[in-house]
Amino acid sequence: MPRLLLLVGCVLVVALGVGAIMYADADDAPGLGLIGFVLILGAIGFGAREVLRRRRV
C-alpha cells in the first residue's frame, strides 16, 4: 500500500508540473515553466528510485 501511495503522489506532482507549464505558456512566465519542468523531472526521478529500491529488497 505505501508503494502505491508513493506512486500516486508522484503522478499528482507530475500533473502539477504539467499544469504549471501550461499556465506559464498562457501567461508568458518562463520561470514558472522551469519550475514545472523541475517538478516533473524530480517526481519521475523520485518515483523511479523508490520503485528500483523496493525491487532490490
Long-range contacts (CB closer than 8 Å, 24 or more residues apart) made by 44-49: 44/10, 44/14, 46/10, 47/6, 47/7, 47/10
pLDDT tens track for 38-54? 999 999 999 899 888 87
Q: What is the pLDDT, as a whole number, of residue 57?
A: 65
- Above 90 in pLDDT, residue 4? no
